[in-house]
Amino acid sequence: MNTALNELDIEVNEPLKLLKVREVAKILRVNPNKVYELIKTGHITALKLGDLKITRFELLRFIKEANGKDFSDLDNIKDFNPDESLS
């Protein structure tokens, strides 16, 4: 199995397993509030089944599409520029 997927604790054969917001936050290494903001702004699609849940498939999609992007301002996503972030 892909090492990067192992690090994210994501099994390829379980793409529809549901993750709670706090689990997604732990994987992304952000505060749960940031995950709620990502959902509210449409960057991550969730479903409500009791609490909000995100499929592992959706989390993988987000990570792939977010790679190389700057999410500092969720209303203005742009390409990540390491030179700007170091200044």
pLDDT by residue, tens only, the chain of 87 residues: 444 455 555 555 566 789 999 999 999 999 999 999 999 999 999 999 999 999 999 999 999 999 999 999 999 999 998 887 665
Looking at residue 82, its pLDDT comes to: 85
Looking at residue 16, its pLDDT comes to: 72
Looking at residue 53, its pLDDT comes to: 97
Domain ranges within the chain, ordered by starting residue: 3-85
**β-strands 69-70, 78-79 pairing:** antiparallel
Looking at residue 4, its pLDDT comes to: 47
- Whether the pTM exceeds 0.85: the reply is no
Looking at residue 9, its pLDDT comes to: 55
Residue 39: CB partners within 8 Å, gap ≥ 6?
Answer: 21, 45, 46, 52, 54
Nearest CA among 25, 76, 69, 75 for reference residue 51: 25
For Cα atoms 33, 37, 38, give the angle at the middle one, nearest 5 degrees: 115
Contact status, residue 35 vs residue 66, Cβ threshold 8 Å: no
